[in-house]
Chain A
Amino acid sequence: QQQVKQSPQSLIVQKGGISIINCAYENTAFDYFPWYQQFPGKGPALLIAIRPDVSEKKEGRFTISFNKSAKQFSLHIMDSQPGDSATYFCAASNNNDMRFGAGTRLTVKP
């Protein structure tokens, strides 16, 4: 069963715009919520992560918003750039059991 649900499946944003990707999870035992970025032909790489004791984490243009009561979290990419075009995966883990969302293919148009 899909333990982490991610939307949208694909997203097209103009350069300079805000990209928003949403995820929801079921298992309340999850205690770590990373986002991975994957470029074509490469493996996913950690982008940013959050733990449930905070509601927001920001690193540069990337921000995670976390809503523990709703069991939802989202990735915001500010001032989106063509170089951000990639597939983004949210994930949730409990110890080493990490489950991924289905992925969002982001295209940033120049």
Chain B
Amino acid sequence: DAGVIQSPRHEVTEMGQEVTLRCKPISGHNSLFWYRQTMMRGLELLIYFNNNVPIDDSGMPEDRFSAKMPNASFSTLKIQPSEPRDSAVYFCASSFGTGPGNTIYFGEGSWLTVV
């Protein structure tokens, strides 16, 4: 089974540029999550979708961040304009169902560096 697939794996961009991170969840999973990981703040939930609908975006740091899930097999996280403090590893994750005990499966992350 293919796991959660993220692209790009690594991105270096200049401040002010638009960054788009992509995610393909595990087939059949109906919940999708975007997390950000930094040394200072650990793993932070940015947003999660259930059945392609955003449920909780309270973790999105500011209006420069946006996420979409146009269908069950694809999601994007966009940062526009990017800033050096956005440098982090961004993880996409997916799970099946809701309720307690649903395992969240993570992708391998997109390593973003904004210079």
Q: Is the CB of B42 within 8 A of A101?
A: yes
B108 contacts partner chain A, Cβ-Cβ < 8 Å = yes
A97:B56 contact, CB within 8 angstroms: yes
Kindly count the residue-residue contacts between A and B in the assembled complex, taking CB atoms under 8 Å apart: 60
Q: Which of A31, A97, A99, A101 has the most CB of B within 10 A?
A: A97
Tally of A interface residues using CB under 8 Å: 24
Which chain A residues lie closer than 8 Å to B48 at the CB level? 96-97
Q: Which of B44, B91, B100 contacts A93 (CB 8 A)?
A: B100
**Chain B interface main SS type:** strand
Name the CB-closest residue of A to B92: A43
Q: In residues 56-105 of chain A, which contact B (Cβ within 8 Å)? A: 89, 93-103
Q: Which residues of A contact B (CB under 8 A)?
A: 31-32, 34, 36, 41-46, 49, 51, 89, 93-103
Chain B residues with a Cβ under 8 A of chain A: 4, 31, 33, 35, 41-45, 48, 50, 55-56, 91, 93, 95, 98-109
Please list 29 pairs of residues, one from A and one from B, whose beta carbons are closer than 8 Å in the complex, sorted by A's number: A31-B100, A34-B103, A36-B106, A41-B108, A43-B106, A43-B109, A44-B43, A44-B91, A44-B106, A49-B101, A49-B103, A51-B101, A93-B100, A94-B100, A95-B98, A96-B50, A96-B55, A96-B95, A96-B102, A98-B33, A98-B45, A98-B104, A99-B45, A100-B42, A100-B44, A101-B42, A102-B41, A103-B42, A103-B43
